[in-house]
Chain A
Amino acid sequence: MRRAGLVLLLVVGLAAVGAPWLAPNPPDRSFPDRLYAPPGGYAYAQRLVNRLNRQFEDDLNQPVSLRWFTDGRLVTVPEADGGPLLLLGADAFGRDTFSRLLYGARASLALALVATAIALLLGALIGGAAGFAGGVVDEVLSRLTDFVLVLPAIYVALALRAVMPLVLPPATVFALLTLIFALVGWPIVARGMRAIIASEREREYIAAGLALGATRWRLLSRHLLPAAVGYLAVQATLLLPAFILAEATLSYVGLGFPDSVPTWGTMLQDAANMSLVAEAPWMLAPAAAIFLVVLGVNLVVQGTGRPPVQLEP
């Protein structure tokens, strides 16, 4: 079970890394004759029959030959030869859903990874300081941690994002969302970290270190931190899917990335018009992608007998 989960996560990670090579089309390329086109173009060229009813059919007179390893792509079909190749259909602007899904994985995963790293760092610092210092510092930091922990994370993220200007360049949005997610996610790390450091501090090896004249900083970084590495690794697996989901939620409600940037969230937003999606179910592909990532993490976590993932950081 654990292995299946790891394989799943590895596949998604490789798809994200190899997106420029794996994607048959550029993610922002709009094919005007393929609005809401169904998956196709791999055996016969697709032909638009009726633009109003979004009807397409395979042109049986024009078989398509796939071009492998050309133009720096794994497989593609040039438009002149009956392309484009639409493995998962096209969206409202005639953009290739499959290619956008791969590029979206890059944005969504990168955001979640960076946010997780910052949240771990913040949580480890604050929790470590609280556990190591004790006394008033511990009291203040622990109260703060508990307080932030009580708040429903998505509302805090929503409020923090909503008070910022709505239209920002993608890079700024990326930085802003990372920061917000880290601010929302650190307490859960800090609480466990504090408990670990506070109990480890009483052990003999720390007393020995103190007796040998080690500085506090050295004790904390060289001796206490390694004791918490396993815990931090587990927390990372819990924060990652939660942040992927948070990005999707914020982008879905229109407070995340602009539509021009393919992420799983902005793609889901394109799928918000359900009466259209009922005829174009491939637009729910990002939902499947999010499901696969969360399932992968759940399989890994459940395989080790730990409690299930709380998607609420």
Chain B
Amino acid sequence: MINFVARRLAFAVVLVVVVSSASLLLARLAPGDVTAQLGPFAGAAEIAGTRARFDLDRTPLGQWGVWLSRAVRFEFGDSFLYNRPVRGLVLSAAANTAVLAAVALVAATVVGIPLGVISGSRQGVLAGAIRGVSLVFLSIPPLLTSLLLVFLAAVTRWFPAGGMTSVNASSLDWPAWLLDVAVHLPLPALALALPIAATFERLQAQSMSETLRQPFALAAVARGLSPRDVVLRHAWRVSVRPICGIYGLAIGALLSGSFVVEFVTAWPGLGRLMYEALRARDIYLVSGCAAMGGLFLAAGSLVGDVLLAAADPRLRDASGVASVGQAPR
């Protein structure tokens, strides 16, 4: 148990440190820096002062050292672009992305898994229809779903076509603000959820139909259990294992997908912030966003492992925690 937690924590720390350091150095070594924003009339002293303020006068490695020594105290420097501490910017953007991704993941699960159980355990028109629909949505990646949904919103005006809040959001009290966000949320969440729901449906259906061919399912039928009980009480639990395995990976897909969705629908999340930071050579903001993304990934793979252990008792060792990477033979 302790071993497992320690390994997980070590992985998370390494991931976050490596990803943020690499992006810091990458952004630093890129041509051009923040002083380009000062315009052509800035004097040499102004440029030098700005460089010194953001530690740009140090060597890349020296700058990295200073940044790292501050980062362990949870100070990640100031954003050039917003002239504010990176920490607050990244946290609020990460919260927006987390809301979007969580809603999308829950929606994809709630829709995809039951449909997969149906189409994997039955034959006929309904199963065929589910399969066809999910093949179509499987082929519409988030870039296209978000474009199409925004297009539909622009034509029908059923939903706001972009943004997280209305223009007057700052004057609203919090219940009204929450409602405003709730009206803006369905479009990007749907854009993100549809392809993932289709993936879940396909995986669940394939896994279910394979599971039902196993001897224990046949034995359950032979003992007189109703098909419903065989599928829902016995086969589903076995068949859901590969889906749990993919949850850890789904976080990566969610992060990637949320980037385009945030970009197309103007959702103020981590992806958009990272993009702006990269474009503006906002070094500390880039590394802050990268660190947050790394944290998301580490958390995602942890959740995946825990789900896997919950679904498959064989993966738990004596202490009740999954021994990672050791699939049963």
Contact = CB atoms under 8 A, between A and B. Distances in A.
Interface of A: 147, 150-155, 158-160, 162-165, 245, 248-249, 252-253, 268, 271-272, 274-275, 277-278, 281, 284, 287, 290-291, 294-295, 298-299, 302, 305, 307-312
B256 A155 contact: yes
Contacts of B15: 147, 150
9 contacts: A150-B15, A151-B19, A154-B256, A252-B264, A274-B151, A277-B154, A290-B143, A295-B136, A298-B138
Interface of B: 15, 18-19, 23, 26-27, 29-32, 135-136, 138-141, 143-144, 147-148, 150-151, 154-155, 161-162, 195, 198-199, 202-203, 206, 249, 252-253, 255-257, 259-260, 263-264, 271, 274-275, 278-279, 286, 290, 293, 297, 301
Nearest to B242: A307
Contacts of B252: 150-152, 312
A154 B26 contact: no
A155 B144 contact: no
Contacts of A312: 249, 252-253, 256-257
A52 B324 CA distance: 64
Given A163-B26, A298-B138, A298-B139, A274 B144 contact: no
- Of B256, B259, B264, the most chain A CB neighbours within 10 A belong to B256
B206 A274 contact: no
Contacts of B255: 152, 155
A295 B147 CA distance: 17
Given A152-B252, A163-B27, A253 B148 contact: no
Contacts of A295: 135-136, 139
A302 B135 contact: yes
Contact of A245 (B143, B154, B206): B143
A101 to B, nearest CB: 15
A248 B26 CA distance: 24
A183 to B, nearest CB: 13
Given A155-B256, A252-B260, A305-B206, A163 B30 contact: yes
B278 A287 contact: no
Given A164-B30, A249-B259, 19 more contacts: A150-B252, A158-B259, A158-B274, A159-B274, A160-B26, A162-B278, A163-B29, A163-B278, A249-B143, A252-B264, A278-B151, A278-B155, A284-B151, A287-B147, A307-B206, A308-B138, A308-B198, A311-B253, A312-B252
